[in-house]
Amino acid sequence: MVFRVECHCCPPNTCDWQEKKLVLKLSFPSTTRVSERTFMDRCKELVQGEHAWVLNHLPDIIWSFDIPFRAGSPQDNLKKKFGDADEMRVLRGVIQEELKPLVYLKTAKECAQVFYDVFQCHHRVWKYPEILHRDISQGNIMVHEKNGKIYGVLNDWDLAIWLNNERDGPTSLFRTGTKPYMAHEQQSVNWEGPHRYRHNMESIFYMMFLFVCLYSKPNEKVSHIEANNYEYEVWHRSDDCFLHLTKSTVVNTALFDPPVTPFFIGFFLWLTELQDHLFMGFSSLRIHIKQAAKQKASHSDKLLPFDKETLGGHFSYKQIAMILHIFNNEQLTTHGLEWQKILEALSQDGASQDE
Ligand SMILES: [Zn+2]
């Protein structure tokens, strides 16, 4: 639940909260779940100097509080009856600056920059301070406007985890995310984790795919009569089993032809290129699994290495950045100096090869 709130704590114009447009977000996480504010405070602390750009793409959380359930409440009684089997929850409030939804955007290029911003932000926070978001969805991608400039913000870090944190071990087995955007492997009945960086990248792919096929403009959904796009509308109401199968078809088809609406036609190339990389990645993963089975059958212990984090290098950060840093033949803004240099060098390599 999200509410607009105002600060009435002190006389007018004496408190810096009064200048801000604030929202209060209420949720009921389990008591063991790390607060979004803890993650964001860690980012503010560690993301400095050359990397400070990332703070423009994260929510500005200024306060958070937890209210435990009181003695004698239904929660408390359930705990007494069920003991460890009952997961205790708290009422958690977070106060942050209000952000704008994607409908606020005007052009396809603005949307592309916002998605590219979110991709870059996700990478920075994953790399250092090593936090994995785990819930990429259309609703969690917001827009922040400052001094006439627009910034894409990756919002809602309440399902995030510290990378390699063993205390989070058991919970990482649970599926987390928003169904239409979850990586297809996570929606399989056989899913056992771990949640990897590339699963969030696959979510970014589905998020863009649904957005540019189901919206005729950022603030206008396509009419249901247009049956071609309607088949993807049902993703918003489908269960894991259906979505696992449908998305498996999307990533494993050699004939991917997304029904992008005319306004978003520039995204056609992005989507088909990203799908190409997913397609190649999952094909190599299948080959790897077959080889491993053969080797096991012949009792050979020479297992060929395969990087599951990036699907054998096909769906890595670098590969995706190569696609997303250009939209409709125009350069988008790449924020980190390190990546500006890498992409420039790669583009020059590509150009000289073309010649
Ligand atoms: Zn105040």
| Best CA proximity match to 267, nearest among 333, 230, 213, 203 | 213
Task: Give pLDDT, residue 226.
Answer: 60
Q: 24 C-alpha to center of ligand 1: Å?
A: 14
Q: Over the chain, what is the mean pLDDT? A: 90
pLDDT band at 170 (very low <50, low <70, confident <90, very high): very low
Q: 89 C-alpha to center of ligand 1: Å?
A: 29
Q: 11 C-alpha to center of ligand 1: Å?
A: 8
Angle at CA 129, nearest 5°, toward 169 and 28?
55
DSSP annotation of 304 reads P
Question: Which one has a higher pLDDT value, 302 or 336?
Answer: 336
Question: Which one has a higher pLDDT value, 117 or 28?
Answer: 117
Q: Could you give the CA distance from residue 264 to residue 258 in angstroms, rounded to a whole number? A: 11
Q: 19 C-alpha to center of ligand 1: Å?
A: 9
Residues ≥6 apart with Cβ < 8 Å to 10: 18
Task: Give pLDDT, residue 355.
Answer: 47
Domains of the chain: 100-354 (1.10.510.10)
Mean per-residue pLDDT for 106-123? 98
Task: Give pLDDT, residue 74.
Answer: 86
- The CB density around residue 39, as the number of other CB atoms within 10 Å, is 21
pLDDT band at 85 (very low <50, low <70, confident <90, very high): confident
Q: Could you give the CA distance from residue 85 to residue 176 in angstroms, rounded to a whole number? A: 20
pLDDT band at 120 (very low <50, low <70, confident <90, very high): very high
| pLDDT per position as a tens digit, 215-230 | 999 999 988 666 566 7
| pLDDT per position as a tens digit, 253-294 | 999 999 999 999 999 999 999 999 999 999 999 999 998 888
| pLDDT per position as a tens digit, 307-329 | 999 999 999 999 999 999 999 99
Task: Give pLDDT, residue 82.
Answer: 87
- The CB density around residue 210, as the number of other CB atoms within 10 Å, is 20
Q: 61 C-alpha to center of ligand 1: Å?
A: 15
Q: 6 C-alpha to center of ligand 1: Å?
A: 8
Radius of gyration of the chain measured on its C-alpha atoms: 22
Q: 14 C-alpha to center of ligand 1: Å?
A: 7
Q: 54 C-alpha to center of ligand 1: Å?
A: 27
Q: 145 C-alpha to center of ligand 1: Å?
A: 23
